[in-house]
A and B are shown apart, each in its own frame.
Chain A
Amino acid sequence: MKGPYIRPIPFDWFMQTAAYRRFMVRELTSVFIAGYLIFLLVFLHRAGQDDKAFGALLECLRSPVSLVLHLLVLGAALFHSITWFNLTPQAMPVRIGEERLPDALVAVLGGYLPWIVVSVVIFWGVLG
């Protein structure tokens, strides 16, 4: 008599459900964000060099490939931020006495509102 049967886990287990696929996309977006942080470090390094090197980088940033990559990273960053802001109330529920504040309110007060405020301040600082 054989013992208990152990079912193998398929290589593409993350394709089995929409929830697993969304999870994998959320995890992968962090690669884009890490990559963009490395780019920002390079950008700051170049900015400290002579005008010619910085000018060449700015020229490179105006190319269509750069524009597409930036849009891709923006999309990934938005997906990453929104999915994590939506999960925040689960990790940090806010209680007042016996009542728990609605999750949507915690996500807005703890995530979306500060995000909008910081974004507006940065836009104002850069474009103002």
Chain B
Amino acid sequence: MADQTITLEVFRYRPETDNEPTFQKYDVPYRADWVVLDALNWIKDNVDGTLSFRWSCRMGVCGSCGMMVNGVPRLTCSAFLREFFPEPVRVEPLANFPVERDLIVGLDSFMEKLKKAKPWLIRKEEKPLSEGEYLQTPAELARYKQFSMCINCTLCYAACPVVGHEPHFLGPAAIALAQRYNLDSRDQGRDERQEIVAGHEAVWDCTFVGECSQVCPKHVDPAGAIQQAKIASTIDWYTRFLLPKGQTR
């Protein structure tokens, strides 16, 4: 067991020397309890210190070690080598993002989209601290809790073909987070978010491929959130159409 190895085919792109990316093969010791991230760290420590990738917590919480593992967006800290052994493992940067270096992608566009969705509590009027906290029942918490588990790992953006074809698409995580706050009983910012979320570069760009929900390591179900936001927007439209003097919900 100790002498067994597994091959990693790693995407390399060094902007100072490379015009095109290449794949580099590394033979890594095989350990049944190692994940792909362990193998990458072994390469960095023992073979090639220039190999660049992001990681932090190693426990599926920080969301920074997302990469394409054999073509599937995965957190490399939870993708065990034993899932693939003895076959080689191909490691690439997350799809649908520009590659800055090796396995590191540029997240600027995602950060802009996230900000547009206004994923924070918006109050029309804040009540003074002396009146205490905003109370919420367990049933009210249950309405949005699933969508609040997002760790911004962007695996859903790598899995979504619409993100690849429509660079302006707000995308799964940002819409799921907008929906998370829209469903929060303490929030009053739905109308502010609707301009962005209900637009054609947001929920109506989604064709419900559903892969965002399949790859989500936190079972957030962004595809479900987007379809629910579509239904809510449709109800808004009919409410305005049938009751011109009525207000949106």
Interface residue ranges, A against B (CB under 8 Å): 1-7, 9, 13-14, 16-17, 19-20, 23, 27, 87, 90-93, 95, 97-100
Contacts and interface: CB of A to CB of B under 8 A. Distances in A.
Given A20-B211, A90-B223, A7 B15 contact: no
B210 A4 contact: no
Listed from nearest, the 8 A-B pairs whose CB atoms lie closest are A91-B227, A4-B98, A90-B224, A5-B99, A98-B142, A2-B15, A1-B16, A23-B209
A5 B209 contact: no
15 contacts: A4-B15, A5-B21, A5-B99, A9-B165, A14-B161, A17-B211, A23-B209, A87-B227, A90-B221, A91-B230, A91-B231, A95-B139, A97-B139, A98-B138, A98-B142
B18 interface: yes
Nearest to A96: B139
Contact of A19 (B100, B106, B142, B214): B214
Contacts of B19: 2
Given A4-B100, A16-B71, A99-B142, 13 more contacts: A1-B15, A6-B98, A7-B95, A14-B161, A17-B72, A23-B207, A87-B208, A87-B227, A90-B221, A92-B228, A93-B224, A98-B142, A100-B142
Interface of B: 13, 15-16, 18-21, 71-72, 95, 98-100, 106, 138-139, 141-143, 161, 164-165, 207-211, 213-214, 221, 223-224, 227-228, 230-231
B15 A5 contact: yes
Contact of B13 (A5, A17, A23, A93): A5
A19 B211 contact: yes
Contacts of B227: 87, 90-92
Contacts, number: 74
A94 to B, nearest CB: 12
A4 B71 contact: no
Nearest to A27: B207
A6 B138 CA distance: 45
B21 A92 contact: no
A2 B139 contact: no
Nearest to A17: B71
A88 to B, nearest CB: 9
A4 B228 contact: no
A19 B223 CA distance: 14
Nearest to B221: A90
A1 B18 CA distance: 9
Contacts of B71: 16-17
A6 to B, nearest CB: 5
A1 B165 CA distance: 27
A13 B211 contact: no
- Of B161, B165, B228, the most chain A CB neighbours within 10 A belong to B161
B21 A90 contact: no
